[in-house]
Amino acid sequence: MRGIRMLAIVAVVVVLGVLVAVPAQAGQATAAGTASAGSAQVVRNGHTFTVPSVGACSLDGALNGSSAGVTDVGIVSYGPAHSACAVDAAAHTSKSVANGTNFTLSALQSYGGPTIKVANYQVTCLLLPVGPMLLGSSVGCLGFLFRSRFRMTSWCRSRTAGGRLLANVILNEVILPSPNDGSITLNMMHIVLFPGGVGAGQIPLSGDVYVGSTACSPTS
């Protein structure tokens, strides 16, 4: 039996500026305040698998969110999660925070890639009168056994032994609207599956997986 390849992310990061900035499309607005443990949309062999925002909160909806966990077998799973969104209109401040557990991406395993796991994580967006601050992108680990090449930077890539690109992993992805209105979106981890396509004879696989997402924008 082939051994399981597993990658557990280990990092503790406090973000006070932009690490990986991606401008949003013109006219794309950032929600007043949101947070979730993540979401996913993966297309495998023509079939779309969607995981809506896990345990999400929003200043425009439920101020507190929770989830017992979501699993798409063989693709991705999120463990129990909870979030809280709050605003102080008088002080013109808002805070959106999400806590997630037991994230697992197993979709790459059948292609010779690693299983990516995160035991627990938190992501926070705090908006002050002086501007937004991304005050928490902390990750805990489960331990790992890992054979494929994988380099931990703010932009990572996972390849098989043959060199085919399996995924791009963007850490602390910051998205700014265009035109910039002072709002900000942070994805603690954004995994882009097979950006260059799969190998010959392999089942097609593509999509985006997010781990820890939050956003905040100026309050009135």
Domain range for 40: 6-216
pLDDT at position 137 is: 47
**Span 152-197, pLDDT tens digits:** 333 445 555 456 788 888 888 888 877 777 778 889 999 999 998 9
Contact 95, 128 (CB under 8 A): no
Q: Is 142 a member of any domain?
A: yes
- Provide the 3-class DSSP secondary structure of residue 104: strand
Q: List the Cα angle 29/97/215 in 5-degree steps.
A: 10
Number of domains in the chain: 1
Contact 3, 160 (CB under 8 A): no
Q: Is 41 a member of any domain?
A: yes
Q: List the Cα angle 139/143/148 in 5-degree steps.
A: 100
pTM equals: 0.78
Q: Is 151 a member of any domain?
A: yes
Residues 6+ apart with CB under 8 A from 134: 15, 16, 123, 124, 125, 126, 172, 174, 184, 186, 214
Report residue 111: phi and psi, to 5°: -105, 10
Q: Is 208 a member of any domain?
A: yes
Residue count of the chain, please give it.
Answer: 220
Report residue 194: phi and psi, to 5°: 40, 60
Q: β-strands 57-58, 70-72: how paired?
A: unpaired
Q: Is 1 a member of any domain?
A: no
**Span 5-29, pLDDT tens digits:** 444 333 222 333 334 445 444 333 4
Q: Is 115 a member of any domain?
A: yes
Q: Is 67 a member of any domain?
A: yes
